[in-house]
Amino acid sequence: MINLLPPHRKEELRREEQFRLVLILGMLLVTFFICLSLLLLSIRVYVSGEIQSQQILAEAQEKEGGEARVEQIHALNTDIKGVSSFLASRVALSDIITRISGALPESVYLTSLSYTNEKIALAGFAPQTEDLLSLRANLEQDSLFGNFHFPQSNWIQATNIDFSFDFEI
């Protein structure tokens, strides 16, 4: 193919072709940016709607949950008061053992200690009756202990006494 057009006409055709190419590319670019902006706008509208719906749900849960939380707090406070009063009324076993060991005369020793349901049973050895009487008097002076039961078998021997008795807290 031979092109018989004059050179300035060839140049005009080339410029027109480049202009059309630039125009087409520009239109495609503008169309792309318009589509992108519409897509981003729709995403923004969707996200703002979701945020508003979540805020409404959160406010509703706060209203409902606030009343429920107050009830839960009152219930927990009642439970804590009950546990606290229970623990305050209980006597620690370590305190009981400390008081018993403080009441023992030096020559008396224990061979067994049994603790069940507010009742304590002691057994041990005392070299003389006076030591056993001293132990009994010391324990009876303590306001924590009461309702003593000393069997008569404790008082039969005057020396080398194997004793046992019980009392309540």
- Judgement on whether residues 99 and 160 belong to the same structural domain of the protein: yes
The encoded tokens of residue 124 equal 């041990």
- Judgement on whether residues 84 and 98 belong to the same structural domain of the protein: no
Range of the domain at 18: 8-90
- Judgement on whether residues 117 and 155 belong to the same structural domain of the protein: yes
Are 169 and 118 in contact, with CB atoms under 8 Å apart? yes
Q: Over the stretch 112-143, which tens digit does the pLDDT of each residue have?
A: 888 887 788 888 888 888 888 888 888 888 87
The encoded tokens of residue 13 equal 């055709």
Please indicate, yes or no, whether the overall pTM of this predicted structure exceeds 0.85.
Answer: no
Q: Over the stretch 37-81, which tens digit does the pLDDT of each residue have?
A: 999 999 999 999 999 999 998 888 777 766 667 778 888 888 889
Are 150 and 164 in contact, with CB atoms under 8 Å apart? no
